[in-house]
Protein backbone atom coordinates (compact mmCIF):
# COMPACT_ATOMS: atom_id res chain seq x y z
CA UNK A 1 0.00 0.00 0.00
CA UNK A 2 1.51 3.36 -0.97
CA UNK A 3 2.35 5.54 1.97
CA UNK A 4 0.90 9.01 2.29
CA UNK A 5 3.42 11.60 1.19
CA UNK A 6 4.61 13.83 3.99
CA UNK A 7 3.66 17.48 3.42
CA UNK A 8 6.59 19.82 2.67
CA UNK A 9 7.82 21.56 5.79
CA UNK A 10 7.10 25.25 5.97
CA UNK A 11 9.96 27.04 7.70
CA UNK A 12 10.65 30.68 8.28
CA UNK A 13 12.79 33.06 10.24
CA UNK A 14 11.14 34.51 13.30
CA UNK A 15 11.70 38.22 13.83
CA UNK A 16 10.70 40.11 16.95
CA UNK A 17 9.31 43.54 16.13
CA UNK A 18 8.72 46.76 17.96
CA UNK A 19 6.07 49.15 16.72
CA UNK A 20 8.87 50.56 14.56
CA UNK A 21 9.86 47.40 12.76
CA UNK A 22 11.99 44.26 13.00
CA UNK A 23 15.12 44.36 15.11
CA UNK A 24 15.72 40.82 16.36
CA UNK A 25 16.07 37.59 14.38
CA UNK A 26 17.85 34.23 14.58
CA UNK A 27 21.35 35.47 13.74
CA UNK A 28 21.17 38.31 16.23
CA UNK A 29 19.78 36.03 18.94
CA UNK A 30 22.63 33.59 18.38
CA UNK A 31 25.03 36.53 18.64
CA UNK A 32 23.46 37.60 21.94
CA UNK A 33 23.66 34.03 23.26
CA UNK A 34 27.32 33.83 22.26
CA UNK A 35 28.07 37.14 23.99
CA UNK A 36 26.40 35.81 27.12
CA UNK A 37 28.50 32.64 26.91
CA UNK A 38 31.89 34.12 26.01
CA UNK A 39 31.77 37.68 27.38
CA UNK A 40 33.60 38.84 24.27
CA UNK A 41 32.25 40.32 21.03
CA UNK A 42 35.17 38.92 19.01
CA UNK A 43 34.68 35.37 20.31
CA UNK A 44 30.92 35.66 19.89
CA UNK A 45 31.35 36.84 16.28
CA UNK A 46 33.54 33.82 15.47
CA UNK A 47 30.98 31.49 17.06
CA UNK A 48 27.95 32.74 15.03
CA UNK A 49 29.87 33.24 12.62
CA UNK A 50 29.95 36.94 11.73
CA UNK A 51 32.70 39.40 10.99
CA UNK A 52 33.79 41.49 13.95
CA UNK A 53 32.38 44.60 12.28
CA UNK A 54 29.05 42.95 11.44
CA UNK A 55 28.71 41.81 15.05
CA UNK A 56 29.24 45.32 16.38
CA UNK A 57 26.85 46.74 13.77
CA UNK A 58 24.17 44.30 14.94
CA UNK A 59 24.74 45.14 18.61
CA UNK A 60 24.58 48.87 17.90
CA UNK A 61 21.35 48.47 15.92
CA UNK A 62 19.69 46.37 18.63
CA UNK A 63 20.71 48.72 21.43
CA UNK A 64 19.50 51.73 19.45
CA UNK A 65 16.05 50.22 18.91
CA UNK A 66 15.54 48.48 22.27
CA UNK A 67 13.86 50.16 25.24
CA UNK A 68 16.88 49.16 27.34
CA UNK A 69 20.38 48.09 26.25
CA UNK A 70 20.70 44.40 25.45
CA UNK A 71 24.51 44.44 25.52
CA UNK A 72 26.86 46.46 27.72
CA UNK A 73 30.58 47.04 27.81
CA UNK A 74 32.67 46.21 30.87
CA UNK A 75 36.00 47.78 31.75
CA UNK A 76 38.91 46.66 33.87
CA UNK A 77 39.48 43.21 35.26
CA UNK A 78 42.12 40.63 34.40
CA UNK A 79 41.15 40.58 30.70
CA UNK A 80 40.90 44.35 30.40
CA UNK A 81 37.14 44.47 29.93
CA UNK A 82 34.67 42.83 27.63
CA UNK A 83 31.08 42.73 26.45
CA UNK A 84 28.23 41.29 28.49
CA UNK A 85 24.56 40.50 28.02
CA UNK A 86 22.38 42.66 30.27
CA UNK A 87 19.52 41.24 32.32
CA UNK A 88 17.13 42.77 29.80
CA UNK A 89 19.09 41.09 27.01
CA UNK A 90 18.79 37.69 28.71
CA UNK A 91 15.02 38.13 29.06
CA UNK A 92 14.69 39.08 25.38
CA UNK A 93 16.66 35.99 24.28
CA UNK A 94 14.53 33.72 26.47
CA UNK A 95 11.35 35.25 25.09
CA UNK A 96 12.57 34.82 21.51
CA UNK A 97 13.38 31.13 21.99
CA UNK A 98 10.01 30.44 23.60
CA UNK A 99 8.10 32.21 20.82
CA UNK A 100 10.28 30.51 18.19
CA UNK A 101 9.18 27.05 19.38
CA UNK A 102 5.51 28.03 19.20
CA UNK A 103 6.11 29.65 15.81
CA UNK A 104 7.51 26.46 14.27
CA UNK A 105 4.65 24.36 15.63
CA UNK A 106 2.18 26.76 14.01
CA UNK A 107 4.05 26.57 10.69
CA UNK A 108 4.01 22.78 10.81
CA UNK A 109 0.25 22.80 11.26
CA UNK A 110 -0.16 25.36 8.45
CA UNK A 111 2.01 23.29 6.08
CA UNK A 112 -0.22 20.27 6.65
CA UNK A 113 -3.34 22.32 5.93
CA UNK A 114 -1.86 23.84 2.76
CA UNK A 115 -0.80 20.43 1.44
CA UNK A 116 -4.36 19.13 1.84
CA UNK A 117 -5.96 22.21 0.26
CA UNK A 118 -6.60 22.34 -3.52
CA UNK A 119 -3.76 24.15 -5.26
CA UNK A 120 -1.67 24.28 -2.08
CA UNK A 121 1.87 25.37 -3.00
CA UNK A 122 4.14 25.90 -0.01
CA UNK A 123 7.31 26.83 -2.02
CA UNK A 124 5.38 29.53 -3.94
CA UNK A 125 4.08 30.91 -0.66
CA UNK A 126 7.62 31.02 0.76
CA UNK A 127 8.90 32.89 -2.31
CA UNK A 128 6.13 35.46 -1.91
CA UNK A 129 7.05 36.09 1.72
CA UNK A 130 10.72 36.57 0.85
CA UNK A 131 9.89 39.12 -1.84
CA UNK A 132 7.80 41.08 0.62
CA UNK A 133 10.69 41.45 3.07
CA UNK A 134 12.18 44.96 3.08
CA UNK A 135 15.40 46.14 4.71
CA UNK A 136 17.03 49.57 4.87
CA UNK A 137 20.65 50.39 4.08
CA UNK A 138 20.75 53.37 6.48
CA UNK A 139 23.49 52.67 9.03
CA UNK A 140 21.98 54.83 11.77
CA UNK A 141 18.49 53.98 13.00
CA UNK A 142 16.83 55.57 16.02
CA UNK A 143 13.39 54.90 17.44
CA UNK A 144 11.48 57.89 18.77
CA UNK A 145 8.20 59.70 19.21
CA UNK A 146 7.06 62.83 17.38
CA UNK A 147 7.12 65.70 19.86
CA UNK A 148 6.03 68.53 17.60
CA UNK A 149 5.11 69.40 14.01
CA UNK A 150 5.60 72.89 12.63
CA UNK A 151 4.28 73.53 9.16
CA UNK A 152 5.63 75.99 6.62
CA UNK A 153 4.56 76.94 3.10
CA UNK A 154 6.36 73.96 1.55
CA UNK A 155 7.45 71.55 4.25
CA UNK A 156 7.00 70.45 7.86
CA UNK A 157 9.60 70.50 10.63
CA UNK A 158 9.33 67.36 12.74
CA UNK A 159 10.94 67.08 16.17
CA UNK A 160 11.45 63.50 17.29
CA UNK A 161 12.17 62.73 20.94
CA UNK A 162 14.41 59.72 21.52
CA UNK A 163 14.37 60.09 25.30
CA UNK A 164 14.11 62.78 27.96
CA UNK A 165 17.42 64.37 26.94
CA UNK A 166 17.85 63.58 23.25
CA UNK A 167 15.89 65.02 20.34
CA UNK A 168 16.36 65.00 16.56
CA UNK A 169 14.91 67.28 13.89
CA UNK A 170 13.78 66.42 10.38
CA UNK A 171 12.11 68.29 7.54
CA UNK A 172 9.65 66.56 5.23
CA UNK A 173 7.18 67.80 2.66
CA UNK A 174 3.50 68.23 3.54
CA UNK A 175 2.72 65.36 1.19
CA UNK A 176 5.20 63.07 2.97
CA UNK A 177 3.88 64.06 6.41
CA UNK A 178 0.34 63.23 5.32
CA UNK A 179 1.35 59.96 3.67
CA UNK A 180 3.16 58.88 6.86
CA UNK A 181 0.23 59.97 9.03
CA UNK A 182 2.56 61.98 11.25
CA UNK A 183 1.03 63.40 14.42
CA UNK A 184 2.27 64.35 17.87
CA UNK A 185 2.81 61.09 19.73
CA UNK A 186 3.39 59.02 16.58
CA UNK A 187 6.18 56.46 16.82
CA UNK A 188 8.71 56.85 14.02
CA UNK A 189 12.03 55.50 12.90
CA UNK A 190 14.78 58.05 12.19
CA UNK A 191 17.18 56.90 9.45
CA UNK A 192 20.49 58.60 8.62
CA UNK A 193 23.21 57.37 6.28
CA UNK A 194 26.67 57.11 7.82
CA UNK A 195 28.06 59.27 5.01
CA UNK A 196 25.72 62.12 6.01
CA UNK A 197 27.29 62.49 9.46
CA UNK A 198 30.00 65.10 10.05
CA UNK A 199 32.38 64.68 12.98
CA UNK A 200 33.82 67.43 15.16
CA UNK A 201 35.69 67.48 18.47
CA UNK A 202 35.69 71.18 19.39
CA UNK A 203 32.63 72.09 21.51
CA UNK A 204 33.20 75.77 20.75
CA UNK A 205 32.90 75.24 17.00
CA UNK A 206 29.63 76.66 15.64
CA UNK A 207 28.07 74.83 12.70
CA UNK A 208 24.78 75.07 10.84
CA UNK A 209 23.84 71.39 11.19
CA UNK A 210 20.78 71.22 13.43
CA UNK A 211 21.29 67.70 14.79
CA UNK A 212 24.32 67.23 17.01
CA UNK A 213 24.94 64.00 18.90
CA UNK A 214 27.81 64.12 21.37
CA UNK A 215 29.44 60.92 22.51
CA UNK A 216 32.69 59.03 22.95
CA UNK A 217 34.52 57.21 20.17
CA UNK A 218 33.99 53.52 20.94
CA UNK A 219 35.22 51.90 17.75
CA UNK A 220 37.25 52.74 14.63
CA UNK A 221 37.29 50.50 11.56
CA UNK A 222 39.96 51.65 9.11
CA UNK A 223 40.12 51.19 5.34
CA UNK A 224 42.50 52.29 2.59
CA UNK A 225 40.83 55.70 2.21
CA UNK A 226 37.99 56.03 4.71
CA UNK A 227 37.32 55.00 8.27
CA UNK A 228 34.10 54.07 10.04
CA UNK A 229 33.79 55.82 13.40
CA UNK A 230 31.24 54.73 16.00
CA UNK A 231 30.31 57.01 18.88
CA UNK A 232 28.83 55.72 22.12
CA UNK A 233 25.97 58.15 22.88
CA UNK A 234 25.05 56.60 26.21
CA UNK A 235 21.84 54.78 27.18
CA UNK A 236 22.81 52.00 24.78
CA UNK A 237 22.66 54.24 21.71
CA UNK A 238 25.37 54.80 19.12
CA UNK A 239 25.98 56.72 15.92
CA UNK A 240 28.29 55.74 13.07
CA UNK A 241 29.97 58.04 10.56
CA UNK A 242 32.24 57.40 7.58
CA UNK A 243 35.06 59.94 7.22
CA UNK A 244 38.41 60.07 5.46
CA UNK A 245 41.59 58.84 7.10
CA UNK A 246 42.86 62.41 6.79
CA UNK A 247 39.93 63.61 8.89
CA UNK A 248 40.64 60.96 11.53
CA UNK A 249 44.20 62.22 11.85
CA UNK A 250 43.35 65.94 11.82
CA UNK A 251 40.61 65.54 14.45
CA UNK A 252 42.77 63.29 16.60
CA UNK A 253 40.08 60.63 16.68
CA UNK A 254 40.82 57.58 18.82
CA UNK A 255 38.88 55.35 21.16
CA UNK A 256 37.83 57.31 24.23
CA UNK A 257 37.95 60.73 22.50
CA UNK A 258 34.89 62.95 22.95
CA UNK A 259 33.30 63.80 19.57
CA UNK A 260 30.09 64.99 17.99
CA UNK A 261 28.20 63.50 15.05
CA UNK A 262 26.34 66.32 13.30
CA UNK A 263 23.90 66.12 10.40
CA UNK A 264 21.43 68.38 8.66
CA UNK A 265 17.67 68.03 8.96
CA UNK A 266 17.57 67.36 5.22
CA UNK A 267 19.69 64.23 5.76
CA UNK A 268 17.05 62.59 7.94
CA UNK A 269 14.59 60.05 6.56
CA UNK A 270 11.51 59.27 8.64
CA UNK A 271 9.74 55.93 8.47
CA UNK A 272 6.67 54.49 10.15
CA UNK A 273 5.59 50.86 10.44
CA UNK A 274 1.90 50.21 9.85
22 pLDDT more than 80: no
Query: Where in the sequence is the domain holding 169, given as residue range(s)?
Result: 143-189
- Both 1 and 129 in one domain: the answer is yes
Boundary of a domain, candidates 135, 154, 175? 135
CA 273 to chain centre: 14
- Both 131 and 152 in one domain: the answer is no
Boundary of a domain, candidates 174, 189, 204? 189
pLDDT for 274 equals 60
| 238 inside domain | yes
- Provide the number of structural domains found in the chain: 3
- Both 131 and 148 in one domain: the answer is no
- Both 15 and 86 in one domain: the answer is yes
- Both 207 and 175 in one domain: the answer is no
CA dihedral 104, 273, 86, 76 (to 10 degrees): 130
pLDDT for 197 equals 96
244 pLDDT more than 90: yes
Boundary of a domain, candidates 135, 160, 178? 135
pTM over 0.75: no
| Residue 251 neighbours by CB under 8 Å, 6+ apart | 199, 200, 201, 259
Q: How confident is the model at residue 135 (pLDDT cuts 50, 70, 90)?
A: low
- Both 126 and 147 in one domain: the answer is no
| 15 inside domain | yes
| 272 inside domain | no
Cis before 49? omega within 30: yes
**Is-contact 156 188, C-beta < 8 A?**
no
- Both 36 and 102 in one domain: the answer is yes
Cα distance between residue 83 and residue 61, in whole Å: 15
148-156 long-range contacts, CB within 8 A, separation 24+: 148/184, 149/177, 149/182, 149/183, 149/184, 156/182
pLDDT digit string, tens, across residues 42-66: 999 999 999 999 899 899 988 988 8
- Both 108 and 215 in one domain: the answer is no
Which one, of 231, 272, 214, lies nearest residue 60 by Cα? 231
Cα distance between residue 97 and residue 90, in whole Å: 11
Which one, of 247, 217, 214, 244, lies nearest residue 229 by Cα? 217
- Both 165 and 42 in one domain: the answer is no
Amino acid sequence: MPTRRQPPRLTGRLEISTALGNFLGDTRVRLLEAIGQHGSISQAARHVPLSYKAAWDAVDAMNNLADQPLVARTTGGRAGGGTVLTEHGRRVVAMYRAVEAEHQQSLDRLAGQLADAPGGDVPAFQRLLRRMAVRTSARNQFAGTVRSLRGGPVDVEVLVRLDDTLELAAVVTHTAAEALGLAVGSEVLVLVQASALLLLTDPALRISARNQLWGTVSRIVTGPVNAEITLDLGAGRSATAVVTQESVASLGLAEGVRACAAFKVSSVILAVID
